[in-house]
Amino acid sequence: MSLDHRLSDEHEQLRRTVEEFAHDVVAPKIGEFYERHEFPYDIVRQMGEMGLFGLPFPEEYGGMGGDYLALCLALEELARVDSSVAITLEAGVSLGAMPVFRFGTEEQKREWLPKLCAGERLGAFGLTEPECGSDAGGTRTTAVRDEKTGEWVINGTKCFITNSGTDVTGLVTVTAVTGRKENGAPLISSIIVPSGTPGFTVAAPYSKVGWNASDTRELSFADVRVPAANLLGEEGRGYAQFLRILDEGRIAISALATGLAQGCVDESVAYARTRTAFGRPIGANQAIQFKLADMEMRAHTARVAWRDAASRLLAGEPFKKEAAAAKLYSSEIAVTNAREATQIHGGYGFMNEYPVARMWRDSKILEIGEGTSEVQRMLIARELGVG
């Protein structure tokens, strides 16, 4: 495999376009949305018009005909400015639309993907439950077939679900136990539940530490009925499906984390050049210079890691270990860079008017969401043959 991760002209043009959008459109407005804990509908609408939600999908389904690398480039550039907007795109594509594309029937694809690719509707992935966060195999939500109507009847609760309660949310793909194997192990299936289905209740938004301009909710299902045709893929294959989705998603989260880490560098360099203390810019002090050098080194290394994992995915090669390593490293250095950026800014780094304060609040979840750091280490060890 080539280790040359330089971008093609097409990918570089996309990266620059999103970079410009992030700085010209997102940066001036997002702080106000963030402090109000308000979803930025207008920004998301513009992202849809740009085709960002359709980046990795074929044109026949309303997509842009790009690839997963294109999506990750967009995520990194958005997260350099704001992670709430970036996670809205990440969850909408890799968790919302990608399961439909990977495992859906042709009818399901044609019904849902054009709206999801256009950003007219957002999709969500209902996996996590209150009693089994990292143990997704312990799913307690159930779906039982009504023998008379053939419908699925769903009961259970999901938590921490991104994009699940916005005005433009169209569907949530829910994992549920639909039967038992001979050994008693659960058969977990994925089922599409359209927003507004009777019995499907979306709770009020969580009060979160970070990602305050993104939508995160608890969901409950009380005898929710959906047609048999809403089954996504084969019955009993939901567990394997979400493992594949999460493997890909770790690359996307790594790109997002890399963007946050790079954003911390960007803001800190600009601040170090203009902030004076003791008669000179603080950037003239070697202690600050070394902090900035280490921050840049971390962001650069994280970028190489996620691009390597992405290139393996695109080449059809095994990428599970590389995706886990990229997610683990980039999320942890995002937290480190956010802490160092806040330190460089001093008291101003503790003020919400400065982007680094937002980045500090947003960074910690990256070590938790879509697989904790501990889970990533388990996965890497397993791939090494010792787990």
Active-site amino acid positions = 370
Phi–psi pair at 12, nearest 5 degrees: -65, -40
Distance (Å, whole) CA 104 – CA 93: 14
Distance (Å, whole) CA 21 – CA 326: 26
Distance (Å, whole) CA 67 – CA 162: 23
**From residue 202, how far is each of 142, 166, 207 by CA, in Å?**
18, 10, 15
Distance (Å, whole) CA 70 – CA 354: 29
Q: How many residues does the chain have?
A: 387
SS3 call for 281: strand
Give me the half-sphere count of Cα atoms (radius 13 Å) on the Cβ side of residue 174: 33
Say which amino acid occupies 247. Answer: D
Torsion angle of C-alpha atoms 147, 148, 150, 151, degrees rounded to 10: -100
